Structure 1
């Protein structure tokens, strides 16, 4: 990462409560999984898992050795993936990354619509977990390489997917506003 980016900044104080972590993150580039892995290594030090579309995991097969597991939309196996994700979230040593919008979207998108899988996973989760939001943003400023900003927020609201989606959108909008005010 150091070869491709000028700097990395983690913003936001998140208390580790020694619970399994569901990390909900925007998906703007190929780098997102690596950025969240970096955040995990710096702060949480958990076993890292992430869900990928099966066709993407087939193309990038090496991700299965770094915590990647597949989901196939419009397939009966989708329920097995939801069960597997919930099982991962039953172990306090695990962090599961979820891109709730389901695929890569523009970094300039400011409204996220969560796929139904987020709700299905939460319904299957039987014990306490931490839900942490991460918003990845980049800016070049006066540098040739981009500066990466990883913004974090601990979600403490209701376990309702609509509430979580609204909270993530509010958090992301705040991150954009804060980022727009930065200067070099």
Structure 2
């Protein structure tokens, strides 16, 4: 497992570049939902290369938290600079390595940090159903005793040359609030919650009823 190696100076420099990148790559960014500024486990669907960059930007400018993110070992080796932004690896091919990564996430949360996880494990098309979550996020939440914040990421082309990005921030919940008598059942319920959020965003975008979203320029809300 590859641990994060954060650099405040690098985070600051990268945030300038990332803000420019988001503003020039998308026609508009939209956000809605409850903003949590306490340490939390953030859980989102994973359908794009952009997801990690969105997570970084949300953590820095919207949630304003010291956040870390689990990413594939292959991806972290290919882009090692993500370690300086809080990226740490998971190797799903080896159970022992998976458990090391999950326990590392627990230790970060217990230390007052926030952690991002994408329970699908790899990028899947935004329209694919079911989302098929792995149980790791529930394992982490059970041991860290922090709120889970479910998010929906949805991107779409509408009336402009560039795509638009929509973010729904769900209400925080504790693992005891997630129905199910075991980890598998709780994971299925968490997947249902995230799917419902994602489908609701999709419905609103298709119907062009996006009044509940706020425009976001990639910086502070």
Tell me the TM-score normalized by structure 2: 0.74
The one-character-per-residue Cα deviations of 1:117-141 (angstroms, maximum 9, x if unpaired) are 223223332x3x1211111112222
**Which ranges of 4 or more aligned residues in structure 1 deviate by more than 3 Å?**
none
2:178 matched to 1:161?
Answer: no
Match of 1:5 in 2: 26
Pairing partner for 1:140 from 145, 157, 173: 157
Q: Distance in 1 between matches of 2:116 and 2:70?
A: 7
Point out the structure with the larger strand share.
1
Match of 1:27 in 2: 46
Q: Flag structure 1 segments of 5+ consecutive residues without an equivalent.
A: none
Shift of 1:183: 6.2
Point out the structure with the larger helix share.
2
RMSD: 1.9
Shift of 1:15: 4.4
Shift of 1:11: 1.4
8 Å contact from structure 2 (residues 45, 194) kept in 1 = no
8 Å contact from structure 2 (residues 154, 198) kept in 1 = no
Match of 2:99 in 1: 79
Q: Distance in 2 between matches of 1:121 and 1:149?
A: 27
Shift of the 152–110 alpha-carbon distance from structure 1 to 2, 3 Å rule, reads farther
8 Å contact from structure 1 (residues 6, 143) kept in 2 = yes
Match of 2:182 in 1: none
The one-character-per-residue Cα deviations of 1:136-159 (angstroms, maximum 9, x if unpaired) are 112222211111111111143326
Match of 2:219 in 1: none
Q: Flag structure 2 segments of 5+ consecutive residues without an equivalent.
A: 1-21, 180-185, 211-221
Between stretches 68-77 and 174-183, larger displacement belongs to: 174-183
